[in-house]
């Protein structure tokens, strides 16, 4: 048996593609030529290495999935934090400085007054507003199936005050996902249930930041919706 | 990809870069996490791209961004697995004979413990991956993937790639030799 034949046989055994006869042949070979045991172990190590490296190689050629809409805002924030620069202040003249000094006295006085009012009044208004929840379901087969009616009911139970939209066209859903209400003093969260992919997507905006999460429907929709509610509570109570 | 625009923090250029790099980061994270922590794949991909923003600020050339994205995601995924499994075992231990319960409900040992590249520094990992991409000539990479990751037989690979069955083993042998040359003997436990 030449090197290549031994390699092929050993690799079949390592990849668990070998028959009983193949295994017996390999055992016989190794018993007859003990140096082949080291070669077999080296091939096992090479296999472990290949299984670790190849997914990274393949990842560099991946073209899907698309960047989720919710992630874009978070990443752009990172770009601004990393590259954003404040312009350097220009030097003021002496008269401007004196004028500014008087203005500052007024500003400081007003600031002190504002602080007093804030300390007294703020606790009354700082209870965090509940998030505005918008729910949508993608039903490309049309809203005729019993399971979808059941899903709609579960969504309604989870967010009884939310609007629930149903879409049959993914493009229309995409438009809905990217259409956000004007910034307000309460968080906004969009919940999308996609039965075809078996996932619940959460997209949110709060305090100028975007966030999101995709939850697979692994056991049942009820459990996933509970996870979704927990996630929303965690993200919007910060 | 316009590196100047990226280093100026141009939002549109970064939008293009994120769309280009997201599938890479996602796929690399998914390869490690999908069986154990599938809900963390997107988070790791996001963290990877955030780290890439800093890498560009520090002067990484555009052609290195894809391998870098894959290695950062891989590294983060392995670290996350180790952290979660250490927590589950309690007291920060990383070795335990007891199997742990995964999110999927199956018993399994620490999946990161068997990773031959877990101890490799990120810089070295990125360099190794760049070399692998340039030295693994087609169809070597595809044949290695079909055999080691997809579990196809020699016959199936020969049929798929239109090569002789006897040459499949030759491609595999040369491919493994290339990996060994680049990565050394990392797979040896």
On chain B, the residues whose CB falls within 8 A of the CB of A66 are: 19, 22-23
Other beta carbons less than 10 A from residue A22's beta carbon: 15
Rounded to a whole number of angstroms, the distance from the CA of B180 to the nearest CA of chain A is: 7
Of A72, A78, A216, the CB nearest to B53: A78
Q: Has residue A141 got a pLDDT over 70?
A: no
pLDDT at A196: 75
Q: What is the pLDDT of residues B123-133, one digit of tens each?
A: 888 899 999 99
On chain A, the residues whose CB falls within 8 A of the CB of B15 are: 72, 76
Rounded to a whole number of angstroms, the distance from the CA of B161 to the nearest CA of chain A is: 17
Highest mean pLDDT among A87-91, A137-141, A234-238, B145-149: B145-149
* Cβ atoms B112, B82 nearer than 8 A: yes
* Cβ atoms A189, A234 nearer than 8 A: no
Concatenate the DSSP letters of all residues of A54-103 into one string. Answer: HHHHHHTT---SPPPHHHHHHHHHHHHHHH--PPPPPPPPHHHHHHHHHH
Q: What percent of chain B has pLDDT over 90?
A: 58
Q: Has residue B103 got a pLDDT over 50?
A: no
Q: Which residue reads 């990172």 in tokens?
A: A78
Six token digits for residue A220? 């049942």
**Residue A97 CB-half CA count within 13 A:** 5
Q: What ranges make up the beta strands (E) of A75-226?
A: 132-138, 163-167, 188-194, 199-206, 209-216
The domain segmentation of chain B, as residue ranges, is 1-99+111-133, 136-189
Q: Which helix (H) or strand (E) holds A114?
A: helix A94-125
Q: What is the pLDDT of residues A179-189, one digit of tens each?
A: 888 777 788 89
CB contact under 8 A, A7 and B66: no
Average of per-residue pLDDT across B45-63: 90
Average of per-residue pLDDT across A107-135: 68
CB contact under 8 A, B173 and A7: yes
- What is the pTM for the complete model shown? 0.60
CB contact under 8 A, A55 and B66: no
Domain topology for B136-189: Arc Repressor Mutant, subunit A (1.10.10)
Six token digits for residue A35? 């140096």
The B residues from 52 to 111 touching A (CB cutoff 8 Å) are: 53-54, 57, 66-67, 69-71, 73-74
Mutate to test the interface with A, among B13, B46, B77, B105 (most CBs of A within 10 A): B46
Average of per-residue pLDDT across A44-63: 94
Of A11, A45, A52, the CB nearest to B172: A11
The domain segmentation of chain A, as residue ranges, is 3-59, 132-236
**Nearest chain A Cα to B67, which residue?**
A60
Cα–Cα distance, A210 to A208 (Å, whole number):
7
* Cβ atoms B184, A18 nearer than 8 A: no
CB–CB contacts below 8 A, A to B: 170
Among residues B123, B109, B128, the alpha carbon closest in space to that of B186 is found at: B128
Rounded to a whole number of angstroms, the distance from the CA of B130 to the nearest CA of chain A is: 9
Average of per-residue pLDDT across A212-227: 84
Confidence of residue A238 (pLDDT cuts 50, 70, 90): low
CATH classification (class only), A132-236: alpha beta
pLDDT at A102: 60
Confidence of residue A212 (pLDDT cuts 50, 70, 90): confident
Q: What percent of chain A has pLDDT over 70?
A: 79
Rounded to a whole number of angstroms, the distance from the CA of A20 to the nearest CA of chain B is: 16
Of B67, B172, B176, the CB nearest to A60: B67
Cα–Cα distance, B121 to B111 (Å, whole number):
19
pLDDT at B98: 39
Q: Has residue B161 got a pLDDT over 60?
A: yes
* Chain mean pLDDT for chain A: 80
Six token digits for residue A236? 């919007």
Q: Which residue has the higher pLDDT, A139 or A27?
A: A27
pLDDT at A100: 58
Residue B154 near chain A (CB below 8 Å): yes
Q: Has residue B3 got a pLDDT over 90?
A: no
Mutate to test the interface with A, among B148, B151, B174, B186 (most CBs of A within 10 A): B148
* Cβ atoms A224, A215 nearer than 8 A: yes
């Amino acid at each position: 048996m030449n090197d290549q034949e031994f390699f092929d046989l050993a690799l079949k055994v390592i990849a668990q593609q070998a028959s009983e006869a193949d295994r017996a042949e390999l055992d016989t070979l190794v018993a007859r030529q003990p140096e082949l045991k080291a070669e077999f172990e080296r091939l096992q190590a090479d296999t472990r290495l290949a299984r670790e490296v190849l997914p990274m190689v393949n990842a560099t050629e991946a073209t899907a999935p698309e960047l989720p809409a919710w992630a874009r805002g978070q990443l752009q924030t990172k770009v601004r934090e990393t590259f954003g620069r404040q312009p350097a202040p220009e030097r003021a003249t002496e008269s401007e400085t004196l004028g500014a000094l008087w203005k500052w006295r007024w500003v400081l006085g007003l600031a002190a007054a504002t602080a007093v009012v804030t300390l007294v009044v703020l606790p009354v208004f700082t209870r965090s507003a509940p998030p505005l929840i918008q729910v949508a379901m993608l039903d490309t087969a049309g809203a005729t199936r019993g399971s979808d009616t059941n899903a709609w009911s579960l969504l309604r139970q989870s967010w009884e005050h939310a609007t629930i939209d149903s879409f049959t066209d993914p493009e229309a859903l995409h438009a809905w996902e990217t259409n956000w209400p004007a910034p307000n003093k309460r968080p906004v969260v969009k919940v999308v249930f996609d039965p075809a992919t078996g996932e619940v997507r959460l997209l949110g905006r709060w305090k100028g930041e975007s966030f999101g999460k995709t939850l697979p429907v692994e056991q049942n929709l009820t459990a996933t919706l509970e996870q979704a509610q927990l996630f929303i509570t965690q993200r919007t109570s910060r | 990809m316009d590196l100047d625009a990226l280093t100026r923090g141009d939002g549109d250029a970064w939008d293009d870069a994120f769309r280009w790099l997201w599938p890479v980061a996602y796929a690399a994270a998914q390869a490690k996490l999908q069986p154990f922590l599938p809900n963390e794949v997107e988070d790791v991909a996001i963290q990877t791209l955030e780290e890439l923003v800093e890498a560009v600020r520090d002067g990484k050339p555009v052609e290195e961004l894809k391998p870098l994205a894959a290695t950062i995601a891989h590294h983060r995924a392995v670290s996350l697995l180790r952290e979660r499994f250490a927590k589950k075992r309690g007291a920060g231990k990383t070795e335990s004979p007891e199997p742990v319960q995964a999110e999927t409900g199956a018993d399994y040992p620490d999946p990161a413990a068997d990773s031959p590249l877990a101890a490799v520094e990120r810089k070295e990992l990125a360099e190794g991956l760049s070399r692998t991409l340039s030295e693994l000539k087609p169809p070597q990479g595809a044949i290695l993937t079909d055999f080691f990751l997809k579990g196809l037989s020699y016959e199936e690979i020969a049929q798929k790639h239109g090569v002789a069955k006897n040459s499949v083993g030759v491609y595999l042998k040369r491919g493994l030799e290339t990996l060994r040359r680049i990565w050394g003997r990392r797979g040896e436990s």
